[in-house]
Structure formats: structure tokens, C-alpha cells
Amino acid sequence: MKKILKSTLAIVAVFAVFTSCNNADKSSNSGALSSNNAEKVYIAPGEHDSHYAFISGGYSGNLTVYGLPSGRMFKEIPVFSQFPTNGYGYSEETKPMLETSYGFVPWDDSHHPDISQTKGKLDGRWVFINGNNTPRIARISLTTFETEEIIEVPNSAGNHSSSFITENTEYVVAGTRFSVPVPQKDISIKDYKGNFKGALSFISVDPEHGHMDIKFQVLMPGFNYDLSHPGRGKSHGWFFFTTYNTEEANSLLEVNASQNDKDFIAAINWKKIEEYVNNGGGTMMPTEYAHNVYDDDTHTATSTMKKEVRVVNPTEVPGAVYLIPTPKSPHGCDVDPSGEYIVGNGKLSANLTVHSFTKMLDAIKNEKFAGEAYDIPILNFEDVLAGSVEQPGLGPLHTEFDGKGNAYTTFFISSEVVKWKLGTWEVIDRKPTYYSVGHLTIPGGNSAEPFGKYMFAMNKITKDRYLPTGPEMEHSAQLYDISGDKMELLLDFPTHGEPHYAAAIPAEIVKNNSRKIFKLSENEHPKKALSDADTKIVRDGKNVHVYMTMIRSHFSPDNIEGVKVGDKVFFHITNLEQDFDVPHGFAMIGARNAELLIAPGQTRTLTWEPQKVGVWPFYCTDFCSALHQEMQGYVRVSPANSDIELSWSLGE
């Protein structure tokens, strides 16, 4: 195969030498070739896409993995939601992942994935994503493509201005959309103003293992913190949050939170607060939040309830927090690759506002303040303004960058993406989206080095884009080629759930790290069975523990007797395969949770509470081999008062 490839390449190379002069002529005078968009998204059978896209699932609570430019979906990674497809959130090993201070919460609304960075560049180690509803941040490994960690965010409600990371993945940042009483207490909603707080959480990320820990929370005034992005390059050490409802209304927000001509972008000097905290600053406040960590060796998650969090009042740290007036309820808060420009996408504004980091520092240095809000200095809009894009469209939401000096902003109301130039603020191009675009993504678009070849827009309304599927439809995304001056629509593809943001990355940074199997020799699950000799059944009162193995094409044991009605049977099953892409499934009749899908080398536990006397089958759900249908077994269930002893066998 390699030989064929080499010789093909050699022929292609020779061909290129002989035809290169002609090619140059063709590309300069023929538009027909460049308009062949089908070719640009066609990935021949067996070939690979050039980019991964990790698209949030919104109300699915999950993260989907797509290929670009083909728009093909490869996988749905369960994050905040139970996933009967593989038993995530149902198996004993993964149930702790969904524990919170509210108890077991088996769903969420996942929003903004962000890929880990080193020195401002995507390093492809982890994807972080926020659960918007029950505030949580998850970390997903890009070697196993599984959720490895979930940390709950206390004092927060509507975890929306999350989960964006700093340029060396020092922090993943989570801001609250809803301000709430901190700590929570029983007060009248009408007492909102002045009493509610908005917590902005800085969660440190261990550089080696990725483990998350809430370093501090800044307790801001009771605005709504909508979106955020880190400073980078010259502005590294700062974080920017858009706000709306600076009116601090508590009812009919669509009117009452749209009264102020300008809301704010909050600029937080997290380096300064970090230093303050490292020197013992801030207050440890009692609270409760769950920290759930999955271990690849034990194949098991553990949940720990944390009891306190460090909070910092912004006025405690002079010079750490400033408010930049920004027109009309800004939504997206986006920082260009150089770190100089901070785009406030004022969603009710006719113009797009761009602030200058350098001007901001000057204004701070000269102490030119327009006033204060809750003792936090407010800068002058004009002092910080870098420029405005005049009347670019209606309802700007989000902006990404191509690394070539251009910015791309989505306009929800006018349903389009507009390309404009940083510095001159002139509009270069506009292309419609179908329909009502929310976020857009350029691979590496939230980093110092974007890969400005593709951009895709994720839309909120689908209508007639695909064959109709009843009132409820998947959302639609459009892929554009942005390598030229003008954007070119290449492809329309459906997405799963409701994508909010997505993060994309060149495939070569990730694909070679993808794991094929889990090694049995590294399996440290306390209830593993590595051979037939390890298989057994142990009764502990009404709990029956079955230590089982699976390999093509049988379970061991596959005949089990001595189980009684009223027992709780734990099937601890180890997949003995060490071959790529040979998972086995396990399904028990009448199981009121889910089936299991068990990867090679992994151990998983399904709990089954037999209800009825009889002989009940189980089987493999994943067509694993030519004898998959033979991969089955029986459990004999006797009456509760039966004295039949436990016994088990295989092949007798």
C-alpha cells in the first residue's frame, strides 16, 4: 500500500513539474475551476478530513465530533447527559460524573467548547465545555474522546459566559448569566437591585493532567454576564466579559434590560487577582459543589463534594476590574489574534463596536474615568474605542478571526456573515446564512494563530434546507471557504441538538493521539476479570456481584443460577479484546437503565434488579463477529425464598 502511495506521489510530482506552467495560466484566467465547490468538500471513500470540529450539542447536553470540509458526523461524546447508546451515566462507573450539589442531574444545556492552548496556539489535548443550566464545566480528553472531568460552579446560575481558556490553559473561565443572591437566601425577587451578584469563576487547569480546581470567584455587580474571551499576546492576563441588564431589572427583561444606551464589557486583570489570592487574599466562603473525575486506569469516576470556595470582591483589588461602556446589550465578546482589539457585538446596535486594549491601558494609566458602578471604575467609551464597523448588518452576535487581519461577524436578524477588516473597519464581503445564524467558527479562531481556510456558521432556524422531518428538525450549518477575498459557500450540513459555539482544529494535531484500545495490563478496576480464572459470582446479602468477561464470541460465565427475586445483580464485565474497534455490548432483558458498550480492555458495571421468576437471557448488542448472534447467556431467577446456591458455568 505504501509503495503504491509512494509511486503515485512520484507520478503526481512528475506530472506537476510538466504541467506547472499550464496550471499557472489556468488559475489566473479561469473561474470555472475555482467554482467547483463539490470538489472542495468531497472526501473520497477511505480518505480523511483535514479538520476536526467539536460542535456543542446545546440541549442534548453533549458534544459532537465532525469532519471538515465534509461535514460528516463521527461521534457524539456524552458529557452532561445520560447516553443509553453506551451506558454513560447509567453504568456504576460513569454515574458519579453527573453528580451535583442538587443531586444526580442527568442532562444539561452544553454551550461553548474551547480547545486547550499552549503559548496561544491550539495544542489539541482537551476540549472544555460548559453546562449552562446546572452550572458545570467539563473536560473532554482528545486521546480517548471521553469526558474525563466535570466540576460544578457554585454561586453561579446560567453558566453562559463560559468555558473559555487563557492562552496557556492556565484557567478555564466560567461566568454567570443570571445574577443571584450570594450566598443563596430567601429574599423577595424585587430586592434584586444591589443584592444580587454575578460570579465570574477562574478555574485553574493542572498543566499535566488537566485537573480543574476553582482558584477564585470574582463577585461582580448583579448584571447578566453574557459571553467572554481571554486577552492574548499583549493583553494576556486580562479577561473580557460582555454584560447586559446593567439596568438590574428582574422582570420583563426584553424591555426593561434594553433601556440603557450602553452596557459594559467588564475587563478583569486576572493576573492581578491571582497574585492577590496567592498572597492569601479573598475569603473562603462555605458552599457546596461537586467535582467529578474519571480515571482511565480504574475506568471509574469518583465524585467529591467540595465545601468552600474562595471569593474576591472586585473592590478589594484596586486596578483589577474596569467597565468599558459598549452599546446596546452586547452578546459576543471577541478578542483578535494579536490581543489588541476587543469586539463588543452589541446585538441591538446598528454599529459594531471595537475597543482598543492599548487605549484601555492608557485611559487606566491616566485615570480618565466616566464614573463608577458599585465602586468599579467606568472608562469613557470614546477613550477606549478603536473604531466601529458602520451599519454592517442587523443583530451582531459573534466574531471570529482568520489570522490575516480580517474579522467575520454573524448577524442573527439579517441572517448573514459579514467579513470586515481590522483597523480600517471596512466591510469586505457578506454572505447569507440559512437561517438566522448564531455562532460561527474558524479553526483556531479563538487563539493567537487561527487557520483561516474554512469558516462555518451554525444556524438557529432550518425550515426548508433539508427534506422535511415534521415540526422538529436538526439545525443547519454552512461551511464557507474563506481562503480568498470573498467568502464562498461550500456546503450545508445538519448538526445535532442545538449547536452554540464549536471549536475546530487541524486533524494532524489530534488524530495520532487517538487511542485504539485500553490495555488490560493497565486495567485497575477493582472488579475486573482478566481471564476465565478470574470470573466468579459473589453474594453479599441481596447484592450479587458477577465478575464476567467478554471476548469474541462468548461471555464467561454464560449460565448463571441462584439469583433470586429481590436481589440486586451487578454485572462487572471486562472486555478482553485488545484489538482496535472491537467493543462488545451487554443487554439484560428488563433492565430499567440501559445497555452497556464496553471498549477493549475496559470494565463496566450494569445493575439489574430481577422482578420475575424465570430464566432470562442477556446478549451482546454490538455486532462483534461472525458469531455475534451466539454471544448470549441466561440467568435463572428463583423465588425470593429459594435455597438454590449460586452457580455459574461456561461450555458445560
Partner 1 sequence: MKKAGIIMIIGSLLLLGLFKFPLWNIMLGAPQYPDPLGMNIYIQGIKGVEEFDLQNIDGLNHYIGMKTIPKAEEMWEFSVFPKVILGMAILGVAIGLLGFFEKLNYKYFLGWFLLMSILGILGMYDFNNWLVDYGGNLDPHAIIKVTNPDGTPMSYKPPLIGYKKLLNFDVDSWPHIGGYLMFIGMALTLIAFWIGRKASLRTP
Q: Is 599 in the site for partner 1 (CB under 8 A)?
A: no
| Dist. CA 14–CA 19, nearest whole Å | 9
Q: Enumerate residues 252-271 that contact partner 1 by CB under 8 A.
A: none
Q: Site for partner 1 (CB under 8 A): how many residues?
A: 9
- Choosing from 453, 539, 552, 568, the residue that interacts with partner 1 (CB under 8 A) is 552
Q: DSSP letter for 368, please.
A: -
Could you say which of 180, 363, 551, 596 contacts partner 1 (CB under 8 A)? 551
Q: Say if residues 617 and 589 touch (Cβ distance below 8 Å).
A: yes
Side-chain-side CA neighbours of residue 325 (13 Å): 16
**265 close to 243: Cβ distance less than 8 angstroms:** yes
Nearest CB to partner 1, comparing residues 461 and 517: 517
Residue identified by cell 447508546 is 85
Asked if 577 interacts with partner 1 (CB under 8 A), we say: yes
> CB of residue 579 vs partner 1: minimum separation in angstroms?
5
Piece of the chain touching partner 1 by CB under 8 A; list 162-170, 220-228, 523-531, 578-586: 578-586
Pair 453, 472: CB distance under 8 Å? no
**Inter-residue contact 577 to 560 (CB < 8 Å):** no
- Distance in Å, CB of 302 to partner 1, minimum: 29
Burial of residue 601 (number of CB atoms within 10 Å: 0-12, 13-18, 19+):
buried
Cβ closer to partner 1: 627 or 644?
A: 627
Can you tell me which of 627, 629, 647, 649 binds partner 1, judged by CB under 8 A? 627
Minimum CB separation from partner 1 for residue 578, in Å?
Answer: 4
Minimum distance of partner 1 from residue 116's CB (angstroms): 28
- Cβ proximity to partner 1, 559 vs 578, nearer residue: 578
Return all residues near 494 (Cβ < 8 A) that are at least 6 apart.
462, 465, 466, 474, 475, 476, 477
The region of 16-24, 562-570, 577-585, 588-596 touching partner 1 under the rule CB under 8 A is 577-585
Beta bridge partners of 341: 356
CA nearest to 197, candidates 175, 229, 169, 219? 219
State the nearest-atom distance from the C-beta of 577 to partner 1, in Å: 8
Distance CA 58, CA 500 (A): 6
Part of the chain binding partner 1 (CB under 8 A), chosen from 275-283, 422-430, 576-584, 637-645: 576-584
Closest distance of CB 85 from partner 1, Å:
22
C-beta of residue 559 within 8 angstroms of C-beta of residue 546: no
Residue reference for cell 478589594: 316
Q: Which range in 307-315, 391-399, 421-429, 573-581 contacts partner 1 by CB under 8 A?
A: 573-581
* All residues at 6 or more sequence positions from 603 whose CB lies less than 8 Å from its CB, including other chains: 93, 299, 523, 525, 527, 528, 572, 573, 574, 575
Closest CB to partner 1 among residues 5, 21 = 5
CB of 627 to partner 1, least distance (A): 7
Within residues 492-521, the interface with partner 1 by CB under 8 A covers 517
DSSP annotation of 47: -
Query: Where do runs of H (alpha helix) occur along 424-465?
Result: none
* Least distance (Å) between residue 623 CB and partner 1: 12
Least distance between partner 1 and beta carbon 411 (Å): 45
The helix/strand/coil state of 341 is strand
Query: From the CB of 572, what's the least distance to partner 1, in Å?
Result: 22
Q: Which of 22, 626, 643, 652 binds partner 1 (CB under 8 A)?
A: 626
| Residue corresponding to grid cell 487574599 | 281
Contact mark string toward partner 1, 335..374, x via CB under 8 A: ----------------------------------------
Query: Which residue(s) pair with 52 in the sheet?
Result: 67, 505
Q: Which stretch binds partner 1 (CB under 8 A): 212-220, 497-505, 531-539, 574-582?
A: 574-582
Q: Under DSSP, is residue 167 helix (H, G, I), strand (E, B) or coil?
A: coil
Distance, CA of 112 to CA of 127 (rounded, Å)? 10
Say if residues 345 and 398 touch (Cβ distance below 8 Å): yes
Beta strands, E only, 317-443:
321-327, 330-335, 341-346, 352-356, 369-373, 376-379, 385-389, 396-401, 406-411, 416-421, 427-432, 437-441
532 scored as a contact of partner 1 (CB under 8 A)? no
Member of 50, 204, 351, 578 binding partner 1 (CB under 8 A): 578
Cβ proximity to partner 1, 47 vs 186, nearer residue: 47
Which residue among 579, 590, 592, 623 contacts partner 1 (CB under 8 A)? 579
Residues of the shown chain interacting with partner 1 in the complex, contacts defined by CB under 8 A: 517, 551-552, 577-580, 626-627
